[in-house]
Structure 1
Amino acid sequence: MLQKKSTLMFIFGTTLMLSGPSLAETGCVAVDPKQPLPESSSARTISKISYIRHDIFDLSHPQTVWFHRFANEYHVITTEPTIRDDVLFREGEPLDLAVLAETERLLRSRRYLRQAEVQVTEYCEDNQSVVVTVSTWDNWSLLPKISLGHEGGETKSNIGFAEDNLLGTGNQLQAEYFNDSERDGYQLRFLSPNIGGSHWQTAVQYADNSDGESYQFQLNKPFYRISSDWAFNFELSKEIKDISEYELGDEYNEYRSNRDYAEVSGGWKISQYDNQVQHLNVGVTLDDHHFLPNDDSTRPPPTDRDLSQIWVGWDWFQSDYQKMFNFFQFNKVEDINFGWQASVRLGKLNQGLGAYTTGWNLQATLAKNWQLTPVSWLTYRSEYKQLEGKELASQQLFSNQLRHIYHLSDNQVWISQFQWNVGKNLFRDQRITIGGDDGMRAFPLYYQTGNKSAIASTEYRYITSWHLYQLVDVALAAFVDAGRAWDNPDRTTPIDNDTLYGYGVGIRLLPSHASRGSIISIDLSKPVTDNPELSGWRWRLIAKREF
């Protein structure tokens, strides 16, 4: 027994000596990030922050070829100051594991980073301090945008480029020419997500389209962490475009929309307890929307409206994050909040600001995720809007989404979703549509339109072990959709006026080392319909953030 104990002490002492002077001579020992720290860790201070920045590809991978080396060679890796700007703690401050986890989530939210880890790696007993290591893995950020897609019976294409990590600074620059079912034109956009480490953000965008031009400028400082004391937002935009109205996916009317929008608002933390925080927000919004006929108009455009208002809002946020896999995406860490999130905003229409009438505008949101069993989860999102005006018809919209996620195994997921919208007297340009992007994947875009809708979907997903040259992860899917949009006073055709049904199979491709991280969905689907123009199987290709 004594000999065994002496042997263990010899091994431990040898390990300290081999670790080098930086540990043994300073009285510091390496710790396993996966194991809990000793008790009273809150009394320890952060003596040093180390940064380890990884390039895009692991060149020791057996599938490494020339373009992996080329990408690593010519990619500008995210600079250490850019990473440091997002770190929410400093050397000399007390260790707070919750702040380390919050920093890790903030870094992972940056699209130019594929993964981030913030861990305690050394413990120094002599001075009760720790060393924290921030490790990041870059994404390929210069993306040529050359794409051709077919979705909902419409062809979409664009060409251009997007740089999501300009010279390693985290800034975004985008230029593209696009052509879709509504319009074609070009767009320029610049975004800085954290100006000089101040957590101020700015975005500038300009677009010159076939149906008009638009621009946007935004300067804001959000509640970027749970302890943020205040927030600010300023936004100015103008958008001119043609809006089409559809029936069964076919355009029957078009009109010109001209919208001028501006908002300035501020927010303050009014209470914080443990992992919960409440904010008070106030703001002024100018929202002037005009409609005009164009050469393709077959009926009068909607009535002009101005909803300029002064508003006050409240929100409640409960932080209860967990690292999840194969939740909304696949083969990557997802930070999912299982705490409550709620907000209420009440605005008063003000004729002194330009509103056409007096009245009030209410908006409320509620969101929550639950873990039902070790392998199943439930997510819920709801939103309520109500607009009342002296010269406006009373308008309401209640939107809900309920989703059940069940992991049949580590690589098999079954998801069921039900979303419903109940509206009343919605503006013509804000009615609910289904088909294509908006549910009912086997049907064309804008197939049904109305004040109300309901869609039920179920989907089986098989995540394969195929990782094609460290570039693309592959998953397979099979799905069934059923849904309907109704209560449309302008509908004229009796075809497919009831519940729609569709089913299909698909392939999901995830560019695992690209900054956009959009999942490319290729589906082959068949609608169940009495419309003779939709007989047979249909295919679609679309890129989106979620599976």
Structure 2
Amino acid sequence: MLSAGSPWAARAETAAPPVPAALSSGGFADGAVQDSMPVFLVPSTCLDNVSPSLIVPAPGPIPPPSPEEPVPSDEELAARGAVIGEVIIRNENIFDIADPRENNRLFRMANKIHAKTRPWLIRKQLLFRTGDAYDRRVLDESERILRSNRYFYDARIRPIAFRDGRVDVEVLTRDVWTLNPGVSFGRKGGVNTTSIDFEEMNLLGTGVGISYSHASTPDRNSDSLLLDSTHLAGTWLRTELLVAENSDGRKRSALIEQPFYALNTRWAGGATFVDDERVDTLFGRAGVADRFQTHAKKRIAWGGWSGGLKGRWVKRFTIGFTKDESRFSPAPGEVLSDPVPPDRVLAYPWVGFELVEDAFEKAKNRDQIERTE
């Protein structure tokens, strides 16, 4: 019960909405929907001391986004301490259909069949990331790394926008046709040689190369399969795997290494394994003189280190170990006129030194349709 003159009663009388007569007894009229609305009783003395601006916040002006500034020169960006903002990847197809000279049915079909290089593979090969300090030298070196891939015709990296100390960078690449089938035939000395080759340098745009070859020569018939990648799973690892089945034996080889992929790369290393079984032929004046079986094995392991770029020069040191083993025996079903060569095992350490100058120039390869290198 609220007494007359109470601050609670005054607020209740002015704040409470009128109640329909049909609902005054506590029931609901036919077809009426209950609209539950809680009523809060607040002392008027409390509300009188509250500023209206605290009850309903006054909307303030929204600050406009910072306008883009004209992109300064590379020297100005470095002097102002600019950092890399957004990195935009734009990979173009083989042919530019917007160019009337390349807009024809054959080129459009080639673009449709070709699987473009994946953006993640391009991004993994860049030497910079969002938040890094802007350095034109690093952008130029990233261009060279991209152009070193056989599946790119060209690569360009440029700043396109500057705002609030951050510079957005565009990476523009263009693919080449990477499917290379081939057939060859030759005849020399009354003997035929044939080969059938199939090579894909950029399988499904992942940077993985695969090739198959069938060859027939006077020495042997061979079927081989080669898999290779210069950026295994988006890393800097270079890998190569070869399997060959020959009429006179077989060959297996594997390579894995991380090279000095950039001027500031501090370490590198790798290993190579080769296992080759074959029949070698010695020819004399009357034709075949001897045939003997060769089993060759080769193992190479190496590591390298560098102090990185110092001024314009990079010094790289490598150390490794090689074991080269060749064992010989008569070929199956052959009677040798001379003894087989003696077995040979070479095992030796080695060291290497490389001096690289940071002085590169762009050039066009005329044998590959003006490809930039």
Same fold (TM over 0.5): yes
2:69 to 24, 28, 49: 28
For 2:242, give the aligned amino acid: Q
Q: Distance in 2 between matches of 1:158 and 1:289?
A: 28
- CA 1:277 to 1:298, structure 2 compared with 1: closer, same or farther past 3 Å? farther
Q: In the alignment, which of 259, 270, 273 is matched to residue 236 of structure 1? A: 273
Residues 74, 136 of structure 2: 8 Å contact kept: no
Say which SS state the counterpart of residue 111 (structure 2) adopts: helix
Query: What's 1:197 paired with?
Result: 234
Q: Match for 2:198 among 157, 161, 172?
A: 161
Counterpart of 2:370 (choices 319, 329, 332) is 332
**Using a 3 Å threshold, how does the CA distance of structure 1 residues 151 and 64 change in structure 2: closer, same or farther?**
farther
Q: Distance in 2 between matches of 1:94 and 1:151?
A: 61
Query: What's 1:207 paired with?
Result: 244
The answer as to 2:92 corresponding to 1:51 is no
CA deviation map 1:509-547 (0-9, x unaligned): xxxxxxxxxxxxxxxxxxxxxxxxxxxxxxxxxxxxxxx
Distance 2:185 2:117 in 1: 31
Amino acid of the structure 2 residue aligned with 1:54: E
Q: State the shift of 1:144 in Å.
A: 2.5
1:37 aligns with 2:74: yes
Q: Which amino acid aligns with 1:162?
A: E
Q: Deviations over 1:350-390 (max 9, x none)?
A: xxxxxxxxxxxxxxxxxxxxxxxxxxxxxxxxxxxxxxxxx
Once residues 323 and 38 of structure 1 are traced to their aligned partners in structure 2, the CA distance between those partners, rounded to angstroms, is 21
Q: Deviations over 1:126-149 (max 9, x none)?
A: 533322211111122233233335
Cα distance in structure 1, aligned partners of 2:157 and 2:203: 24
- Write out aligned runs for 1:156-305 (5 A): 156-180=193-217, 182-244=219-281, 254-270=291-307, 272-294=309-331, 295=334, 299-305=338-344
Contact 2:159 2:169 in 1 (8 A): yes
- Is this contact kept in 1: 2:84–2:129, CA < 8 A? yes
The C-alpha deviation readout for 1:243-291, integer Å capped at 9, x for no partner, is 445689x876654332111122221114641232222322232221123
Task: Describe the SS at the equivalent of 2:362.
Answer: strand
Alignment CA distance shift 1:271-1:90 (3 Å): closer
Report the counterpart of residue 407 of structure 1 in structure 2: none
Task: Give the whole-Å Cα distance in 1 for the aligned partners of 2:210 and 2:355.
Answer: 34
Deviation at 1:224, TM superposition (A): 0.7
The percentage of counterpart residues that share the same residue type is: 27
8 A contact 2:66–2:164 mirrored in 1: no
Give secondary structure in 1 for the equivalent of 2:169: strand
The answer on whether the counterparts of 1:255 and 1:296 sit within 8 Å (CA) in structure 2 is no
Give the Cα separation in 2 of the matches to 1:27 and 1:189: 50
Q: Which residue of 1 aligns with 2:37?
A: none
Q: Which residue of 2 aligns with 1:318?
A: 357
- Determine the C-alpha separation between the residues in 2 that align with 1:239 and 1:189: 15
| C-alpha distance in structure 2 between counterparts of 1:38 and 1:312, whole Å | 40
Q: Runs of 5+ in structure 2 lacking a partner?
A: 1-64
User: Which whole-Å deviations, capped at 9, do the CAs of 1:218-237 have from their partners, x for residues lacking one?
Assistant: 22111111111111202221
Question: Which structure shows the bigger proportion of residues in helix conformation?
Answer: 2
Q: Is the 1:51–1:134 contact (alpha carbons within 8 Å) kept by the matching residues of 2?
A: yes
Q: Give the Å deviation of 1:165.
A: 1.2
Deviations 1:478-521 (A, max 9, x none): xxxxxxxxxxxxxxxxxxxxxxxxxxxxxxxxxxxxxxxxxxxx
Higher strand share: 1
For residue 109 of structure 2, give the secondary structure of its aligned residue in structure 1: helix
1:273–1:298 Cα change, 3 Å: farther
State the 1:168 CA deviation.
1.0
Deviation string for 1:193-226 (max 9, x for gaps)? 2123320122211001122100011221111111
Shift of 1:239: 1.0
* Native 8 Å contact 1:323 1:333 kept in 2: no
Please say if residues 90 and 172 of structure 2, whose CA atoms lie closer than 8 Å, have aligned partners that are also in contact: yes
The 2-side partners of 1:148 and 1:282 are apart by 43
In structure 2, do the counterparts of structure 1 residues 78 and 311 end up closer, same or farther at CA, with 3 Å as the change threshold? same
Contact 2:84 2:133 in 1 (8 A): yes
Aligned ranges for residues 346-357 of structure 1 at < 5 Å? none
User: Matched residues in 2 for 1:54 and 1:288: separation?
Assistant: 48
State the alpha-carbon separation in 1 of the partners of residues 159 and 289 from structure 2: 62
Pick the structure with greater CA Rg: 2
Q: Match for 1:44: what amino acid?
A: A
Q: How far 1:150 sits from its partner (Å)?
A: 6.5
Task: Please identify, of 80-89 and 303-312, the stretch whose mean Cα deviation from structure 2 is larger.
Answer: 303-312
Distance in 2 between the 1:61 and 1:245 partners? Answer: 59
Among 117, 120, 143, the residue aligned to 1:81: 120
1:492-531 matches, within 5 Å, as: none
Report the counterpart of residue 150 of structure 2 in structure 1. Answer: 111
1:94 and 2:133 matched: yes
Q: Normalised by the size of structure 2, how large is the TM-score?
A: 0.72
TM-score by length of 1: 0.50
Q: Give how far 1:153 is off.
A: 9.1
Give, in whole Å, the separation in 2 of the partners of 1:92 and 1:30. Answer: 17
Matched, 1:135 2:172: yes
Quick one: structure 1 residues 233 and 65, their matched pair in 2 at CA, closer, same or farther if it must change by over 3 Å? same
1:270–1:280 CA contact under 8 A, matched in 2: no
